[in-house]
Structure 1
C-alpha cells in the first residue's frame, strides 16, 4: 500500500502502489501547469467518500512502500488525466481498479510518460 498525504496535517489516503504511481503522474502534471482540480475517493470500508481541492500551494506527499516504480499503464493514465480535467474531477475507486501494463514497453516509467505529458493541455 501507498499513501497520499495532502496538507501539512492531512490524514493519509491509502491506496495500492500502482494506483498512486498513476495518480502521482497526473497530479504532478496538473500542478506543474498551475491547474487546480478536485480529487475524490471512496472510503475502502464503504462509509462514504472524501474530496480535496488540489492546488499548487498546499503541501503534497506521495509515500510508497516499494523502492521500485511500478509499470505505467498508458490507457489508465490517459483516463485519469481526462477525468482530472473534467468538471467532476478525478474520482478514484480504490477497490475496482485493475491495471493492464502494455506488453513489450521496457523503458523506465518516467521516460514513457514524459513526452506525452510534456505537451500543454488542449
Structure 2
C-alpha cells in the first residue's frame, strides 16, 4: 500500500500502488497546469466506511509514497477516465480499472 500525503499539516491516505500510480499522473498533470480540483475517495468497511473529499490546489504540498520498488505499468484507458472525472464538477475519484480496450474513442 502506498500513501498520498497532502497539505500542512498533512493528511495521509492509503492506496494500492497501482491506483496511486494512476492518480499521480492525473494529479500532477493538473497541478503542473495550475488547476485546482476536488479529489474524493471512499474508506473500506474495515476503516469504518464513509468517504472524504479535499480541494487540490497547486500551492499545497503533496507527496506520493510507494511501497513497492517497481513502477506499475499504466493503463491509458484508466488515466483518461480519471482525467475526465477530474474535470467534472464532482472531481477526481477512484473508479474500477477498465481494460485497455475500454479506452474512450476520440473523434
- State the TM-score, normalized to the length of structure 1: 0.75
How many residue pairs align between the two structures? 99
Partner of 1:11: 11
1:66 positional shift: 1.2
1:53 aligns with 2:51: no
Partner of 1:63: 65
Q: Which runs of 5+ in 1 are unaligned?
A: 103-122
Partner of 1:26: 26
Q: Which runs of 5+ in 2 are unaligned?
A: 102-107
Query: Which secondary structure state, in structure 2, belongs to the residue aligned with residue 12 of structure 1?
Result: strand
Partner of 2:104: none
- State the TM-score, normalized to the length of structure 2: 0.85
Residue by residue over 1:25-72, the C-alpha shift from the partner in whole angstroms, topping out at 9 and shown as x without a partner, is 000000000010000001112521000000111010100011211000
Once residues 68 and 77 of structure 2 are traced to their aligned partners in structure 1, the CA distance between those partners, rounded to angstroms, is 23
Once residues 8 and 16 of structure 2 are traced to their aligned partners in structure 1, the CA distance between those partners, rounded to angstroms, is 22
Q: Give the counterpart of 2:78 among 60, 76, 79.
A: 76
